[in-house]
């Protein structure tokens, strides 16, 4: 019905490759000290059947849960939307696109926000850049700043095109143009830098892959493919905003509901941006700012991508006290100062 069978087959295959071996080892380890050789032998004979039964039970629960999500998800999203403070244009407060600084500035800086967020996620960076003589454009990506129901309708092509259109509009009016992308914005800026003449690229906690943990069992991308067709909406409360500084969390504007269809777009963008041939086309100076403790965007994936970029002028700044929303976290001042210094270099 939702293309579930092929996905569950992938899950079953993963369990057959790894899960069964781990379960056998665990039971054998428990049984051996007590002389329960018959139990261990029985599990070795019938273990695969038990695993299959367990997977079938999990699949049944997921299917039932999917029915509930399809029935209730839309109405819950609508209720959340109705409670959000908005400006006169209907945008979430803090999400509206902005232009700061002198329109005659020699250098323009385009800020591209991340997944589910908006320009608010850059904290005081736009104002600081404008104070230092830059023309600043804080854009709003399609499907963002309005409702997650709108994001569910947006394709990755639309996201890429929106950034390219902003570049084409800004470029003729300034001698230099620098892109600053946070999270998925970093992914989009990477794709744009391979297609347009850019004078500098700042990747702040860029998304080239999800930070993985051992207890995930499977890669987060694999889980997304499995659960996406079953669970169309995921709730992301304020406590799940990836920032370590507690008093910053209420000020960060981000959707509370995640449309599963948009997660596939996010992963598709990362797949495009990780292409070695595309990364080799980027020749402008690049600054990577990333927290080693980022729980959303993988630091390793970002470093691997940077290594494939052809530019001879590349710099990495690692911070330790922050999480994913760098410009609101404990290392915000350092991230902002490093960005300004990078933009000031000819």
Find the CATH number of the domain harbouring 134: 3.40.50.1820
Domain enclosing residue 240, as ranges: 98-344
**Does 140 share its domain with 17?**
no
**Does 25 share its domain with 124?**
no
| pLDDT at site 35 | 46
Share of the chain above pLDDT 90, in %: 67
Average pLDDT, the chain: 85
Phi, psi of 134 (to 5 degrees): -95, 150
**Does 11 share its domain with 47?**
yes
Q: How many domains does the chain have?
A: 2
**Does 140 share its domain with 267?**
yes
- Residue 57 in any domain: the answer is yes
- Residue 46 in any domain: the answer is yes
Q: How much is the pTM?
A: 0.80
pLDDT tens digits, residue range 223-258?
A: 777 766 777 888 887 778 999 999 999 999 999 999
**Does 126 share its domain with 182?**
yes
Closest CA to 19 of 63, 61, 42, 53: 53
- Residue 313 in any domain: the answer is yes
Average pLDDT over residues 293-310: 97
Instruction: Give the residue from 50, 83, 116 where a domain finishes.
Output: 83
Altogether, the residues listed in the chain come to a count of: 346
**Does 105 share its domain with 231?**
yes
**Does 236 share its domain with 285?**
yes
Euclidean distance between CA atoms 92 and 84, whole angstroms: 7
- Residue 304 in any domain: the answer is yes
Average pLDDT over residues 164-181: 98
- Residue 88 in any domain: the answer is no
Q: Is the pLDDT of residue 187 over 50?
A: yes
Cite the DSSP H helix spans in 154-231: 156-170, 184-193, 220-227
**Does 73 share its domain with 117?**
no
Task: pLDDT band for 30, please (50, 70, 90 cuts).
Answer: very low
**Does 150 share its domain with 103?**
yes
- Residue 186 in any domain: the answer is yes
Strand order in the sheet with 314-319: 98-100, 135-138, 107-112, 176-182, 200-204, 286-291, 314-319
Closest CA to 205 of 288, 111, 305, 110: 288
Instruction: Give the residue from 83, 117, 150 where a domain finishes.
Output: 83
**Does 41 share its domain with 105?**
no
- Residue 248 in any domain: the answer is yes
**Does 141 share its domain with 241?**
yes
CA 268 to chain centre: 11
- 3-state SS assignment for residue 145: coil
**Does 71 share its domain with 115?**
no
Beta strand segments in 132-265, E: 135-138, 176-182, 200-204, 233-235, 257-259
The Cβ of residue 114 has, within 10 Å, a number of other Cβ atoms equal to: 28
- Residue 163 in any domain: the answer is yes
Euclidean distance between CA atoms 282 and 274, whole angstroms: 12
Instruction: Give the residue from 55, 83, 111 where a domain finishes.
Output: 83
């Amino acid at each position: 019905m939702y293309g579930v069978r092929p996905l569950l087959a992938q899950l079953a295959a993963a369990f057959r490759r790894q899960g069964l071996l781990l379960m056998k080892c665990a039971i054998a380890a428990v049984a051996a000290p007590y002389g329960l050789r018959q139990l261990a032998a029985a599990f070795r004979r019938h273990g695969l059947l038990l695993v299959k039964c367990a997977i079938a039970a999990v699949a049944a629960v997921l299917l039932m849960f999917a029915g509930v999500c399809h029935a209730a998800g839309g109405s819950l999203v609508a209720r959340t939307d109705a409670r959000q403070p908005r400006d006169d244009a209907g945008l979430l407060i803090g999400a509206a696109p902005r232009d700061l600084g002198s329109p005659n500035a020699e250098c323009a800086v385009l800020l591209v926000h991340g997944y589910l967020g908006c320009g608010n996620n850059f904290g005081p960076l736009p104002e600081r850049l404008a104070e230092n003589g830059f023309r600043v454009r804080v854009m709003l990506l399609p499907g963002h700043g309005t409702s997650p129901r709108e994001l569910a309708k947006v394709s990755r092509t639309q996201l890429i095109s929106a950034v390219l259109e902003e570049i084409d509009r800004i470029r003729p009016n300034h001698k230099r143009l620098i892109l600053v992308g946070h999270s998925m914005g970093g992914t989009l800026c990477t794709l744009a830098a391979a297609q347009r003449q850019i004078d500098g690229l700042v990747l702040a906690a860029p998304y080239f892959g999800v930070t993985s943990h051992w207890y995930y069992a499977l890669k987060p991308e694999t889980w997304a493919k499995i659960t996406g067709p079953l669970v169309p909406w995921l709730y992301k409360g304020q406590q799940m905003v990836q920032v370590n500084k507690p008093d910053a969390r209420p000020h960060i504007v981000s959707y509370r509901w995640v449309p599963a269809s948009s997660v596939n777009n996010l992963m598709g963008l990362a797949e495009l941006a990780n292409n070695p041939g595309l990364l080799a086309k980027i020749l402008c100076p690049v600054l990577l700012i990333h927290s080693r403790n980022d729980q959303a965007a993988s630091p390793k994936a970002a470093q691997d991508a940077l290594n494939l970029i052809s530019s001879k002028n590349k710099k990495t700044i690692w911070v330790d006290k922050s999480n994913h929303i760098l410009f609101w976290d404990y290392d915000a001042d350092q991230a902002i100062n490093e960005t300004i210094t990078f933009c000031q270099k000819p």
